[in-house]
Every structure is written in structure tokens, then in C-alpha cells.
Amino acid sequence: MRRIAIVGAGQAGLQLALGLLGAGYEVTLIAERRPRDVRGGRVTSTQLMFGPALRIERDAGLALWDDDAPVMPCFELSHWNPQAQPEAPVRRFTAPFDEEVRSVDQRVKLSRWLALFEERGGRTEYRSVGPAEVAEVAAGHDLTVLATGRGELSALFPRDTAWPAHDRPLRSLACFYVNGVDHDGSDPGAGYVRATGVPPTGDVIMMRALTVGGPCDILLFEGRWGGAYDCWSDRPGATAGLRRALGLLRTFAPWEYERFRRAEPTDAGAALYGAITPAVRRPVGRVDGGRPVLGLADALVVHDPVTGQGANNAARAAASYLAAILKRGELPFDEGWMRETFDAYWASARHTHAFTELMLSDPQPERVGRIMGAAFAHPEVAHRFTNGYADPLTYRSWLLDPVGADAYAARFGV
């Protein structure tokens, strides 16, 4: 029986570990926190997941919340600049998703998956590891996969110089899980994924989710540095932070303020602050003695959450790696195989990273403004743009391609 170690118990690490365990491998999972600590901790993300990634979970038997997690049927995008043009109307479009969209609090999902891994006979070690400890793990396993890019572990994987190197985060982030938004059916838009862009302030994104206490709503602020949304350096508690967030909504998205004005934090851990520096790294790292280890998901590719791709990428990466490991059989997991395994995943996933980079570019290419202008005026464009989030590979021939984007925009006279 082949022995595989996975360091990191996030979406990708746990999904891969459960898949390998079900296929008969001897799997050791190294996690920092036990299930009860994960569930009782602070929120860690917004984890918006689109149809293709949800199908991956369902096919793996891991979609355990289909009866409880709210489905968001549409995407609504608003654009307004009250400081520059206070009397200008809000530009807005709404478009339906072709497949279901859900969000399950990672405290709920990962704690249950971690417990499930143990229930099914997986071996779990609860500890933090650095490069030296990874070397010890790798020496005792046929394959070691690093599914976390925290701290010193990210330094094991060199940067991919083919992609832009960012020396700092592109946005200031704040996230709140709340109760108190009315979902009685009188305001269908309250159940959509919604985003409001206010240059030069930034964006605020709203969505439904399932958290530890049941259905809730999420507010995610994506602040431009130095703008009004860049105001979280003091890391206030959940109640004080939400009060500040409501003040921002009242100024920059008053229609959202009306929805959220009675909101309260879902729990003491319902606030998250931070910033993410995007990065793309090469897939093979080396530990003491030159032994190769394989990176997975966030260990290699880090996105800003503005396009909601993180959990989707993790699910795709885990499924792709699982298929490659099963196909490998008894052959060695050597460096060549590791590179091929990542390349097979990255052939599609690179478009996700390109999409996120494009949406955060400052200034954005002129073609983006033309496409978005067409989306506000033409439902066909809004629908195509909206459903590209489910699989950013579909942007390749138009939004991500200057010639294709110009040709497409010209069809609508913009």
C-alpha cells in the first residue's frame, strides 16, 4: 500500500486526503487544528463556490450541505461614484447563473471533513510544521503534498517568473458574517451574489452562506489602498467592525445599507481582516537531501478573493491531483511526474489567475471598460460575463484576449 502525506487541512488538502483514503491509500494528514477548534474558531474566507466545483464535491460524496446551504440564483453588479458624481444614477445589471452557487463556512465544512477523515480510518497528526519537519515527513512517505502556503513553507517553492511579481497585497480586506437581513421573498435581490464598485474606494461584495448557526449573509470589503474601505488596521471586534461597515454602506451603497441596517454578527468569530499578495509558484519544492515535494492549491497559486475563485481552484486542483495519483499506479512519484501533474491542472487554472489579475489591474485595460459598458446595456453580455466566473477558461477568447474583447464589444456598439 502506497503511503502519502498531506500537509494542510484546507479545502484542497482534505478533499485530496478523503479521495485517496477512499481509493485505498495509506494517508497521513498533518493539520494545525482539531475539528472542534476549526468549528469554534474565526471565519477564514468567503468560499463562494460555483456549479463545476460543487459538482466535484458532489461526485466525491462530500457535498454534505445540499439541504441547508442557500442557493444564490443571480449575480448583480452595481457601479457608482457618489463622490465624483453624486447625482449620477447607479449603473446596474442582474444576470442569472446557469448553475447553482453556494457558500459553506469553512468552519462548518472543514471541521466535518476532518472528522470524516478520522472516522474513515485516516491518520491525522495535529501540529505545525516547518521545512525541517516536512523533510522528516517526506522521508517516510512515497509522496508528500504541501497544501498550505503559510509561513516558511511557501519559500520551498520558487516564484514563477512568467507571471507578475507583486511585492504587496493589491487590496485591503474585511469580511463579516451577519444575521438580520430579511429573506422573506419581498426582496429577491437580497439572495443574490451582489457587488458594488465605487472607484476609487473599492468594491463590496455580498452573498448568502451557511455558517455554524445556520444561513447567514456575508459582507466582503475590497478596499483600494488609501480609500475609504482601507480602514481596518486596528482590527476591531466583530460588533465594532460591523458598525463601521454599515457606515460605509450608508455612504457608498445606500440600497445595501437598507438591507443590512439591522444586521448583527453571527458569532464572536464573525469578522476577518487581512490582505493577500497574489503569487504563482513552481510546483516542486525540495527539502533536506534534495527530496522533492509537490505543492497544491494555495501553496502554489494565491489569488485575491475579488473574483471568488479560491475554493473553486482548490476543488479543481484536488480532483486533478487525485486522478493523476490514481493513474500513476506503482510508478514513482518523481519530479517529472510532479511537474506534469501540476501542468495538467494549470493548463486551465492559469486563466483563473489571469482573470483575477485583470479585474484588479489599476488602471484596467480599456477593453474591460468597454465590455462592462456593454454588460450594463445588453443582457446577453451580462449573462456571458456572469457565468464566466464558474469557469474562467471561457474568458480566454474574449475578455482575456484584447483582439477578441474588442471584436465582441464592437458587436454591441461600444
Q: What's the angle, vertex CA 119, arms to CA 116 and CA 125, rounded to 5?
A: 85
pLDDT band at residue 152 using 50, 70 and 90 as cut-offs? confident
Confidence at residue 72, expressed as pLDDT on a 0 to 100 scale: 98
Q: Could you read off the pLDDT of 65-122 as tens digits, one per residue? A: 999 999 999 999 999 887 766 677 899 999 999 999 999 999 999 999 999 999 999 9
Helix axes 11-22, 106-119, angle to 10 degrees: 20
> For the chain, what percent of residues have pLDDT higher than 70?
99
Number of H helices, E strands in the chain: 12, 18
Instruction: Say whether pLDDT at 1 is over 80.
Output: no
Quote the distance between the C-alpha of residue 292 and its chain's center.
Answer: 27
Higher pLDDT, 87 or 248: 248
Cβ atoms of 144 and 137 closer than 8 Å: yes
Interval 267-290 mean pLDDT? 94
- Rounded Cα distance between 116 and 338, Å, is 28
Confidence at residue 162, expressed as pLDDT on a 0 to 100 scale: 92
Confidence at residue 174, expressed as pLDDT on a 0 to 100 scale: 98
Instruction: Say whether pLDDT at 281 is over 90.
Output: yes
Question: What SS3 state is found at 124?
Answer: strand
Interval 293-310 mean pLDDT? 94
Among residues 110, 152, 113, the alpha carbon closest in space to that of 133 is found at: 152
The CB density around residue 24, as the number of other CB atoms within 10 Å, is 10
Instruction: Please name the residues in contact with 348: beta carbons below 8 A apart, sequence gap of 6 or more.
Output: 316, 393
Domain with CATH 3.50.50.60 in the chain: 3-63+105-166+278-358
DSSP 208-223: EEEETTEEEEEEEEEE
Confidence at residue 100, expressed as pLDDT on a 0 to 100 scale: 97
The reported pTM is: 0.96
Interval 136-158 mean pLDDT? 91
DSSP 317-346: HHHHHHHHHHHHTTS---HHHHHHHHHHHH
Domain with CATH 3.30.9.40 in the chain: 74-102+171-274
Instruction: Say whether pLDDT at 289 is over 90.
Output: no
Q: Which three cell numbers stand for residue 176?
A: 463579516
Cβ atoms of 269 and 238 closer than 8 Å: yes
Q: Could you read off the pLDDT of 27-46 as tens digits, one per residue? A: 999 999 999 999 999 999 99
pLDDT band at residue 209 using 50, 70 and 90 as cut-offs? very high
Cβ atoms of 122 and 21 closer than 8 Å: yes
Q: Which three cell numbers stand for residue 316?
A: 479543481
Instruction: Say whether pLDDT at 154 is over 90.
Output: no
CATH fold for the domain made of 74-102+171-274: D-Amino Acid Oxidase; Chain A, domain 2 (3.30.9)
Cβ atoms of 367 and 405 closer than 8 Å: yes
Query: Structurally, what CATH architecture does the domain formed by 3-63+105-166+278-358 represent?
Result: 3-Layer(bba) Sandwich (3.50)
Mean pLDDT of the chain: 95
Quote the distance between the C-alpha of residue 37 and its chain's center.
Answer: 22
What letters, b where the CB count within 10 A reaches 16 and e where it falls short, cover 150-174?
A: eeebbebbeebeebeeeeeebbbbb
- Rounded Cα distance between 34 and 37, Å, is 5
Q: Which three cell numbers stand for residue 119?
A: 472516522
Confidence at residue 414, expressed as pLDDT on a 0 to 100 scale: 84
